Amino acid sequence: MQSGPEILAKMSGTGLLEPCGRSSIAALFEEESMPFATIGENELSYSFNGAKARRDGVSVVLVHGAGGKKQDWHATWRSASNKMQGMGLTARSEGRQLEKYPIYAIDLPGHGRSTGQSHTHVEAYADAIASFLEAMDLQRVVLVGHSMGAAIALTLAVTSNPRLAGIALIGGSGRLIVSDAILDGLQTSFEPTVDAIVKYSWHRDTSAFFKKEGRQHLLEAGSGVVYNDFLACSRFDLSDRLSEITIPVLVMAAEQDRMVPLEDSRTMASAFKFGTFAELQDCGHYMHVEKPREAAGVLVSFLENGLVE
């Protein structure tokens, strides 16, 4: 078996692993527990980093975006296992302290290993997340959502879900714009349309390896799931209700995000009663993957300083 230094020998500018270590890391994660939570007739797959419950009761729940799955979140955000620590691949190795927080990463219904069907309205996904929080009896949750996941977090926050202590929105907006060409293409020419989505989702300097992985995740999700998700996004609009949210909100955005313009995220942040805005540089829509250290730092600062006791 390769040693930690051998596996980590080739690193990209994003701070993520290049293909040289992929098989070893994949095998490691196959050994990790991937439990399920029963939500009605469905089973939601999730990962848990194993961190002990905190005295302040805060836990973090990660919600992926359209056509995604829990593996869309950086490995250092999802695992604090002894094996990961021994290989230098925990959040601490990114210079932060995320491993101090219990972190759950979820596969939405019909995605990844979760059963059930994908949905065409964000509200249906929000209901599933609300049921997960209840099933796990999580009390002071910071819901971290990427893109469509951010829309899901906003939907729960605007309904004043009592289990939320705050939300963090990555590449999100109060209204999501999806072109008719994308919706049509996902039904009639799936692969070329996925290629277009990938092209606009990542920064030009991000390693081709990660763009390829992102593309593969969308293709594995399938035309029906990805179409339903993008349709749900096209129907999402809470732009006139943002001021109703009374819990702290972190908005993370990137100047070169071509899926959700930076100014849309900035405008959204200014509408919240307790809004914090953070801009990341040299990354695109998948900023939490492209700049995991910087994104983790922003999130930890919010967790430590931005929540109301």
Residues of the chain with pLDDT under 70: 1-33, 80-96, 309
Q: Is residue 233 part of a domain?
A: yes
Count of helices and strands (H, E) across the chain? 13, 8
Q: Is residue 13 part of a domain?
A: no
Checking DSSP bridges between strand 164-170 and strand 249-254, what pairing results, if any? parallel
Q: Is residue 181 part of a domain?
A: yes
Give dist(CA 83, CA 103) in Å, integer. 17
Confidence (pLDDT) at 309: 65
Confidence (pLDDT) at 79: 74
Q: Is residue 61 part of a domain?
A: yes
* Token pair for 270: 């200014």
State which residues form the domain around 81: 33-305
Distance spanning both ends of the chain, measured CA to CA: 46
Mapping DSSP onto H, E and C, the string for 138-184 reads CCEEEEEEECHHHHHHHHHHHCCCCCEEEEEEECCCCECCCCHHHHH
CATH number of the domain where residue 105 is located: 3.40.50.1820
Q: Is residue 237 part of a domain?
A: yes
What are the tens digits of pLDDT across the range 200-245? 999 999 989 899 999 999 999 999 999 999 999 999 999 999 999 9
Q: Is residue 15 part of a domain?
A: no
Confidence (pLDDT) at 33: 57
Q: Is residue 5 part of a domain?
A: no
Give the closest residue to 64 by CA, choosing from 293, 220, 263.
220
Confidence (pLDDT) at 14: 34
Confidence (pLDDT) at 15: 35
Q: Is residue 8 part of a domain?
A: no
Q: What is the number of structural domains in the chain? A: 1
Confidence (pLDDT) at 142: 98
Please state the pTM of the whole predicted model. 0.87
DSSP result, 200-219:
HHS-TTS-HHHHHHHHHHHH
